[in-house]
Amino acid sequence: MEKFCQSCAMPLNTKNLGSEQDGSASMMYCELCYQNGVFTNPEISFTEMLAVGKAGIDQSSSNFITKFMLKALYPASLKRTTRFKNAH
């Protein structure tokens, strides 16, 4: 299993894995990005995913400093995902 979703860069664990077409767990993507073997938002751009991810960080229960650091590092993390590695 990947450590981070290869679409949105969210940390992966056994409780938030996406699903393949056969119903098995995806070892690469989270449930927010990938269900039944397809992306939940197949047309999302790098810039749009960046905005979605930063909004998710803002909604988290982390303190201000942690949120600030996560948002600062998020673009580099997203660029390393399989989905967006060559898209920016």
22-52 pLDDT, tens digit each: 999 999 999 999 999 999 999 999 999 999 9
For residue 33, tell me if it sits in a domain.
Answer: yes
For residue 8, tell me if it sits in a domain.
Answer: no
For residue 7, tell me if it sits in a domain.
Answer: no
What separation in angstroms does the CA of 39 have from each of 34, 68, 76, 87?
4, 28, 21, 16
For residue 57, tell me if it sits in a domain.
Answer: yes
pLDDT at 88: 60
pLDDT at 1: 84
- Give me the number of domains the chain comprises: 1
45-84 pLDDT, tens digit each: 999 999 999 999 999 999 999 999 999 999 999 999 999 9
First vs last C-alpha separation in the chain: 25
What domain range is 45 assigned to? 17-79
**Whole-model pTM?**
0.91
Alpha helices for the chain (secondary structure H): 46-59, 64-79
